[in-house]
Structure 1
């Protein structure tokens, strides 16, 4: 499957193919929901999406350092080295030392992705080394611009739109934010173990919750009605981001809509799972059931077939002279 994706994307250089393959492995290993949806994309688009995900995951793993093998100073050095490598790769188009950077630089060049989107992403990654909480939702939104909204904006040139890109951009950014708010809610216990609280302090305080109360609940396994109320409010915040994002799906190339719709369904399904388990995210990680994932992917596959049939039906037909008739459909 990897070879088919690379061939379809026109990636022929052996070292570049290896770099993209590493990004695909990162997506398959860590982005299970995301990877599942990616498989519904037209085959020629998948390598670029793997590159975008692979780079983001690589940077995120440096910041989080799950095994606690590096000091904050060492992680800062690694992140700055990655940033220099990225800047060089984007400037020269030849990539850098890290395979994920080579794949990303190639994707950015192929799709003319704004380099500032990657600069903003790296700025948010660096803030994770020192910032451990956010006083207000406005503060969190500033962070999420670089950590989430720009991911949606990076994806737009790859996916393609049937409207001017700037019209679809706010919805793409909102979808990135919606996905990240879902992750924050799902991972609140794990993030607390890493010393971080991503839920805004003003939202928590409005329900009588602070970090010590969250830590007590995490440590003892005991529940508190105030925490539950704050988590319900956080869910509503995420749901609002999904509502802002949803109109943008119809602005995408029809062939990619089933993929994004499936990702939308699966990620918002995490919120459903959190609610189903009565907001016990401090003690248990909510996941979408295998049956629901399978059903959503199957529905997406049916939509893919329909989109391909419609695209085939609108292809130009040969004229009596053997020349192709002009096609009036949207540019793909």
Structure 2
């Protein structure tokens, strides 16, 4: 993230978030296009932010570099809520924050989740920690999205919790082998031990 305090024109902002979302190759891009222009731009901006921080967590930079980049985004989120964004992506998020009353803590929760992922190894110790992880990396995104969809906060939070957790658990189960090879075990140690599995000796045959 480059901080430059430059004010970009609306067309540049729109082109940036559209290209960022389209470049991700996600099928969400086409679904988002069906939304009204204001909602579409808002959800594009949130999605672009999610991709940005996820790419940091999954990238090849050293751990301290990743932490620095995520720290910069914490600063940028604070700046957005002070109406002083320093980046093009930050500027694109500000109308969404203002129009749909996006909650700052939801952005911070997502960044907390990304920080859990950036080390060379990760072992989730128990179910409560797994629920925290799911809330941070998935449910937080649901809460932001549901605000843009203009669901009332209570209904939106319940939906984000159930759907976000379900989707994240699906991702974890799908990627058990791949995650294990990079030192990340999201299945709780306590649950593995309960079922007679040594968390340090998981051997998965995917053939």
- TM superposition score normalised by structure 1: 0.54
Please list the CA deviations of residues 161-207 of structure 1 after superposition, one character each: whole Å capped at 9, or x if unmatched.
3xx43234212232122222222222223322332112222333333
Residue matched to 2:170: 182
For residue 148 of structure 1, the aligned residue among 122, 138, 163 is 138
1:109 aligns with 2:98: yes
1:196 aligns with 2:184: yes
For residue 84 of structure 1, the aligned residue among 70, 75, 78 is 75
For residue 127 of structure 2, the aligned residue among 112, 117, 137 is 137
Indicate if the aligned counterparts of 1:20 and 1:100 stay in contact, CA closer than 8 A.
Answer: no
CA drift at 1:40:
3.8
Please show how residues 148-297 of structure 1 align to structure 2 within 5 Å.
148-161=138-151, 164-214=152-202, 216-217=203-204, 223=205, 280=206
Indicate if the aligned counterparts of 1:23 and 1:55 stay in contact, CA closer than 8 A.
Answer: no
Alpha-carbon spacing, 1:15–1:207, altered in 2? closer, same or farther (3 Å):
farther
Where structure 2 has 5 or more consecutive residues not aligned to the other structure, the ranges are 1-6
CA distance in 2, matches of 1:105, 1:49: 12
CA drift at 1:14:
5.6
Secondary structure, counterpart of 2:157 in structure 1: helix
Would you say how many aligned residue pairs link Structure 1 and Structure 2? Answer: 200
Where structure 1 has 5 or more consecutive residues not aligned to the other structure, the ranges are 1-12, 218-222, 224-279, 284-332
Secondary structure, counterpart of 1:32 in structure 2: coil
CA distance in 2, matches of 1:83, 1:38: 26
CA drift at 1:158:
0.9
CA distance in 2, matches of 1:190, 1:24: 31
**RMSD of equivalent CA atoms:** 2.4
Alpha-carbon spacing, 1:176–1:81, altered in 2? closer, same or farther (3 Å):
same
